[in-house]
Structure 1
Amino acid sequence: MMNKLITTFKKILLGMIVLLALSCKKEEAPINLTLETNGNTIMVYLSGKPSYSILTEALEITKLSQTLRIYGTMTLFAPTNEAFEKYFKRKGIANISEVNPDTLRNLLKYHIYNEKYMSSLFVQGSLPTVTVNGAFIKFDISKGLRQTILNGTAKIVTLDIPAANGVLHAIDDVLEPSPLTMYDWLRTQPDYSIMLEAFEKTGNAALLLKNVEYDPNTIVYGKPAIKWRTIFLEPDAVLKKENITSFEALAARFSQNYNTTKNYADPTDSLNVFVRYHTLEQKYFISDFTDTYLESASKNNFLVFSTTGGLSVNKHIVESLSGTDTVRTEVKVGVNLDRSNIITKNGIINSVNALIQTYTVKPVAVKVLFAGLPSERGLKLPNGTVSTFIAQFPLMGNNPEAQKIIPWLKWGYSTGFVPTAPTNSAFAGDNVVLLSSGTAGYWYELTTKLVFKGEYDIYVNYVGLRRGSAVTNAIFTWDGQQLGDITNLADAKDAFGNVVAGGIDNIYRRKLGTVVLPINSTHVMRIDGIANNVTSWYSMELVPVRN
């Protein structure tokens, strides 16, 4: 017991030392650290490889070498000598000694995570945490992990090099954090001049583009984290198609369409609302979007996203009359992928191919996955390490405290049973959730995001392991109100007479009922299993009722 306490104390102490080493300036870096340094640490590995001699020298200059010698769970994206030679050529310098030490330290910190990320945790977009300098790296794994591209320029040439204090991935170029805010970047892009002027004249350039805000509730390496934003912008050429060739024309357009105060800085002015409607108050890479809707910086105005046929915004049907016939036309704003995912110091910039206008949203379909969206499954544990929902679900048991890091799902069951690791099912090749075969007295609570008011049919999708051969009863409730009678999940038809078994005999899509939601709000669906559990759960769907 005493040895275990000593080991735990050493880990806590060393975690504090790592934090200090990464956050202090070089003259403040800790020295003579000897705990847990005898293994093949990241720094020991680099020092023994001539192909990393420039990186080794840079780490020694900045004193970050001491951090990479001590105990921890770190990740280093390690530029090779050839990578540094590319960097020197870009900067017009001969060697590492010509780089300003503070600039070099910040540059190297952009290559380090204080969490261990094996390639199996890479995702399209970005990792769930920031690098040690507080910025994100953009990951492109569309061609496979072995061809991962970082920030559109650096290719990973060797994956998953193990070390006693983490992992290394070798890269063929030096990563450079953007020094520009969204405002700075747009000022270098003359083809966004009209929208930039609109942000300036409404006061939103200072509020949303220039400002580097910090979140006091999220502390990263001893400092508040940057509050990132995402914007979608029309280039001048797109506005020209709408006969908008200047800021004045844009202002006139929206003073005609909506009520205007003529005081563009007034948050209630129609032009101001239009400008803020282009902004999300969170970080989203293109790959992070699903078929979803998100509230814009113009409060109570939502952007609706669709991924069918490529990412688009506010796709909807407009009805018009042609003689006596009703013509239904699909309207949407497409996203220009080749001009999107622009990383700046305080946000991400995306380009669109049509005018984004506010409109009154109608109920849209909502799907909530029991295993969470792929973008939600990366978890940061209370001890600071990173993991995934897939790995943690079977470890959390009945512990409500442990489940707090899973915002969309809560669960419980009779004592003595153990959750089963989520497994890949025939549902679009995605994961299903099972507490354990034979568990009685289990329950789940699945929380939706904000749902638009309206009338919806509720469906559940699941895998029934023994169709027709076992009674697997459950009770469903919606915000505390029971949906129908006790349901036998093995029945081949639902209470409405629909055949629910799919082409694969044990896959079900069952309608539970219809609800009318009077306001925009979040909701909770609960499942109480009152017989042996032989069911793996995939999703809950809300489908708008079309009148």
Structure 2
Amino acid sequence: MNKVLNTAFFWRLSLLAVLAIVIINCTSEKYKESTDETLNITGYLENNTEQYSMFLEILETTNYSTFMNTYGTYTLFLPTNQAVQNYLNEEGFSSISDIPIEDLEDLAKLHVLEERIETTSFNDGKISTPSMQGQYLITGAVNIDGSSNITVNKDARITTSNIEVGNGIIHVIDKVLKVANKTLAKMIDNNESLSIFATALKETGWYEVLDKPLTYDNDSIPSYLTVIAQSDEVFSQNGINSYTELEDTYSHLNNPTNPKDSLNLFVAYRIIPGLNYLADLVGTSTVLTKAPLEVIGIKLKRDSIVLNEETFNGVFEEGVAIKRDASDITASNGAIHFVDDNFFIKKRFPSPVYFDPADQPEFRQLSAVFRKPGNYASLNSSELSEINYEGSYDLTYASPPIGDRTGRGWHGDVLELVRFRTGVTNNLEFTTPVIIKGQYKVWVSYRASDRQPRVKAFFNGQELPRIANFSEYGNTELPERVLESQGYKRHIYPYDNAFYSRLMGIINVETTGRHKFMLQSTEYAGYNTWLDVIEFRPVDMDQLYPKFESGGDGLIYESDIN
């Protein structure tokens, strides 16, 4: 009897289980349609209209609210309603609809960057990624009422930072950022403290040059210029209290419009080709000027950027400091900096140039990649303004992860070529940094590996006498000076024998400026090639020291090692 009951109970239980499975399978499943319910930028503004409705209106009027509500990675500098209202009052508008639509579009885009940038990534100066409008934003730290504040474009203060949204990050600011719509010439002319300098621009003819709108050449290179201005106070410190006194002091031909006149050269020496914010200047040792064949030396000295400070023949020449707080002023066609003293054209002597071929303007703009270990980016020849080559393969900026052997070169990065060989990628031509006229030894440093090519080098079309074998590993046994006599050296410290440097020959740089340097593969090699540093060292300079910090940015002197 118990057995019969147990059997019946078992079957009833089994039937219930089957019914449960059927019911479960017949019930429609509810899937979460979104993996992230965080509001995007537009949604965040719509949820906080009491604070940000006016900037939301700007986005809606320009039809930018749609893309600011879609997938992406943005940084928004968000003005409050009060900030927007103050802007309208200052500009004489009664409402947002009164602003011309083109101006409103520029205004909106100036507040947006197409990259997520937290305040921890801000430096004292230019943000590395330009705004969608095209102009760069400048950040800095100021002390207000005993507390530290971050400013944007020297005027707007960040009141709330690093607000996370679904498609980026928001920093709230207390003033609207204004588009720089005046040329360099007009900004200088409108500055009362620059009256002598402005008159000098007009009398020498450089005012017209600085007043031209931004243009682009056939290679899409913009016509930006950078001006190092001197205030009336600086001139007064040097005994010059009017333009007439300036002309009497410098115009040796009594014709300031003559390019050979000393006053014309005085002004031209303060005009630098290209858009150079302070963050750009500290990344180079010299910059070319509009004074023919003349350069300005740049040195970072503690917290100061100093111009033309050098020691020649054991004599120290004190430099002139850039006034950092007053500098980094954006114009529609360039940037303006100020100096704290007068400075002069100096006869320059050959000085070393350490060229990192991976340091290209287009790679440098990728701030999330450039010199960030573990990141890579590839661009083709049409996307690189200062490299030309044959073939269709992309060139790769490689900043390998910490510990990766390829990242042990200088700066921890290399320029990577896939199959640097005849018929694939070849005749890799670089535009060099500024090289001062003189004689130099040229060294090419690489990361060695099997099946890499033998390579020739050309400077301004002239072939150098030696060939580098990129599959040749470093010699760790011979003394350094013996290696040098054979045309080799161990260029990084601490040393890794995968990195090696080959002397390609001696060049005579006849004019100060930027030049063309080409590497040509001579054979059909089959593996990746990694370039580390290309050195131009004056012939009378020590060719071994300084070395380059392995994986870092520093220079290592012999005394550091000893």
2:342 alignment partner AA: L
**Selected match of 2:331 from 324, 344, 363:** 344
1:118 alignment partner AA: R
Q: Are the aligned partners of 2:268 and 2:289 in contact in 1 as well (CA < 8 Å)?
A: yes
Asked whether 1:266 is paired with 2:267, we answer no
Question: 1:123-138 alignment to 2 at 5 Å?
Answer: 125-127=126-128, 129=130, 131-132=132-133, 135-138=135-138
Cα 1:434/1:217, change in 2 over 3 Å: closer
1:60-100 Cα shifts (integer Å, max 9, x gaps): 6734356546878684624253xx3245457768x995456
**Selected match of 2:306 from 301, 312, 321:** 312
Query: Shift of the alpha carbon at 1:270?
Result: 2.3
SS in structure 1 at match of 2:263: helix
Asked whether 1:240 is paired with 2:236, we answer yes
Question: 1:285-304 alignment to 2 at 5 Å?
Answer: 285-289=277-281, 290-304=283-297
SS in structure 1 at match of 2:400: strand
Query: Shift of the alpha carbon at 1:204?
Result: 2.6
Q: Which residue of structure 2 aligns with residue 49 of structure 1?
A: 48
SS in structure 1 at match of 2:256: coil
Q: Are the aligned partners of 1:461 and 1:539 in contact in 2 as well (CA < 8 Å)?
A: yes
Query: Shift of the alpha carbon at 1:349?
Result: 1.5
Q: Which residue of structure 1 aligns with residue 458 of structure 2?
A: 478
Question: 1:319-468 alignment to 2 at 5 Å?
Answer: 328-373=315-360, 376-378=363-365, 395=378, 402-409=380-387, 421-423=398-400, 425-427=407-409, 429-435=411-417, 445=428, 447=430, 448-463=432-447
Distance in 1 between the 2:384 and 2:501 partners?
Answer: 25
Q: Are the aligned partners of 1:475 and 1:530 in contact in 2 as well (CA < 8 Å)?
A: no
| Structure 1: tracts of 5 or more residues without a match | 1-38, 320-326, 381-385, 397-401
Asked whether 1:505 is paired with 2:495, we answer yes
1:329-350 Cα shifts (integer Å, max 9, x gaps): 3243321212211223443211
Query: Shift of the alpha carbon at 1:231?
Result: 0.6
Query: Shift of the alpha carbon at 1:499?
Result: 5.5
SS in structure 2 at match of 1:64: coil
Q: Are the aligned partners of 1:371 and 1:389 in contact in 2 as well (CA < 8 Å)?
A: no
Q: Which residue of structure 2 aligns with residue 228 of structure 1?
A: 224
Query: Shift of the alpha carbon at 1:542?
Result: 0.7
SS in structure 2 at match of 1:339: coil
Q: Are the aligned partners of 1:423 and 1:433 in contact in 2 as well (CA < 8 Å)?
A: no
Query: Shift of the alpha carbon at 1:522?
Result: 1.4
Query: Shift of the alpha carbon at 1:496?
Result: 1.9
Q: Which range is displaced more, 176-185 or 120-129? A: 120-129
Distance in 2 between the 1:86 and 1:343 partners?
Answer: 21
1:262-293 Cα shifts (integer Å, max 9, x gaps): 23233343212221221123221100122243
Query: Shift of the alpha carbon at 1:375?
Result: 7.4
1:146-185 Cα shifts (integer Å, max 9, x gaps): x97421334384448555xx64533223212245444444
Q: Which residue of structure 2 aligns with residue 18 of structure 1?
A: none
Distance in 2 between the 1:356 and 1:475 partners?
Answer: 44
Identity over aligned pairs, percent: 15
Cα 1:329/1:336, change in 2 over 3 Å: same
Q: Are the aligned partners of 1:126 and 1:285 in contact in 2 as well (CA < 8 Å)?
A: no
Distance in 1 between the 2:221 and 2:108 partners?
Answer: 17
Q: Which range is displaced more, 438-447 or 512-521? A: 438-447
Query: Shift of the alpha carbon at 1:198?
Result: 1.4
Distance in 2 between the 1:414 and 1:201 partners?
Answer: 50
Distance in 1 between the 2:231 and 2:270 partners?
Answer: 13
Q: Which residue of structure 2 aligns with residue 27 of structure 1?
A: none
Distance in 2 between the 1:239 and 1:96 partners?
Answer: 40
1:490 alignment partner AA: G
Distance in 1 between the 2:43 and 2:507 partners?
Answer: 63
Cα 1:501/1:56, change in 2 over 3 Å: closer
Q: Which residue of structure 2 aligns with residue 496 of structure 1?
A: 485
Q: Are the aligned partners of 2:395 and 2:416 in contact in 1 as well (CA < 8 Å)?
A: no
SS in structure 1 at match of 2:99: helix
Cα 1:294/1:499, change in 2 over 3 Å: closer
**Selected match of 2:158 from 155, 158, 173:** 155
Q: Which residue of structure 2 aligns with residue 519 of structure 1?
A: 510
Q: Which range is displaced more, 231-240 or 487-496? A: 487-496
Distance in 1 between the 2:151 and 2:494 partners?
Answer: 38
| Structure 2: tracts of 5 or more residues without a match | 1-37, 143-148, 402-406, 542-562
Mark the structure with the bigger radius of gyration: 2
Q: Are the aligned partners of 1:154 and 1:175 in contact in 2 as well (CA < 8 Å)?
A: no
Q: Which residue of structure 1 aligns with residue 271 of structure 2?
A: 279
SS in structure 2 at match of 1:214: coil
SS in structure 2 at match of 1:199: helix
Q: Which residue of structure 2 aligns with residue 11 of structure 1?
A: none
Q: Which range is displaced more, 440-449 or 184-193? A: 440-449
Query: Shift of the alpha carbon at 1:512?
Result: 0.9
Cα 1:170/1:515, change in 2 over 3 Å: same
Distance in 2 between the 1:283 and 1:244 partners?
Answer: 30
Q: Which residue of structure 2 aligns with residue 195 of structure 1?
A: 197
Q: Are the aligned partners of 2:377 and 2:398 in contact in 1 as well (CA < 8 Å)?
A: yes
